[in-house]
Amino acid sequence: MHWAEQHVNPMLALRNIICSDRWQAEWSKIEAGIRKQKLKKPEAAPAKVITGDEALRLILQEKLSSGDHLLEAALDPKKPKPNPWKNFKFGKSLYQRQDPPKL
């Protein structure tokens, strides 16, 4: 039976191989798979070191090129919708008179 890779727990798979005495037969397959994965992955190029000014310039260029409509939206805030519960009376105020008695 074959399982999808996202559903396989590697430690559990190794434990099952050891417990069922299939280590000699299965280890060669495991080792071949590991070697194949290492050959597929190219080594990452070292990261380029840039100064703080260069990083700031790159960030600003990216933000400005993304569009001016974002800048306009930030300058024109929207009014919040009125909350229907804001004027709701609860507790004691529910039973109090609208016009307080004159003293």
Average pLDDT over every residue of 46-63: 84
Q: What pLDDT does residue 1 have?
A: 60
pLDDT of 75 reads: 65
Confidence check: pLDDT of 70 > 70: no
Print the domain residue range for 27.
5-40
Confirm whether 20 is domain-assigned: yes
Task: Count the Cβ atoms, other than its own, within 10 Å of residue 14.
Answer: 14
Q: Is 17 exposed, middle or buried (0-12, 13-18, 19+ CB in 10 A)?
A: middle
Query: What total number of domains does the chain contain?
Result: 1
Whole-number pLDDT of residue 79? 81
Query: Would residue 100 count as lying in a domain?
Result: no
Whether residue 12 lies inside any domain: the answer is: yes
Residue 90 domain-assigned (yes or no): no
- The answer to whether residue 102 is domain-embedded is no
In a domain, 98, yes or no: no
Long-range contacts of 54-57 (CB under 8 A, 24+ apart): none
What pLDDT is stored for residue 68 in this prediction? 59
Determine if the pTM surpasses 0.75: no
Q: Is residue 33 part of a domain?
A: yes
91 token code pair: 């507790």
pLDDT at 69 over 70: no
User: Quick check: is 24 in a domain?
Assistant: yes
Q: How far is CA 70 from the centre of its chain?
A: 22
* Percent of the chain whose predicted confidence (pLDDT) is above 70: 76
Three-class secondary structure of residue 65 per DSSP: helix
Who's near 27: CB < 8 A, 6+ residues apart? Answer: 17
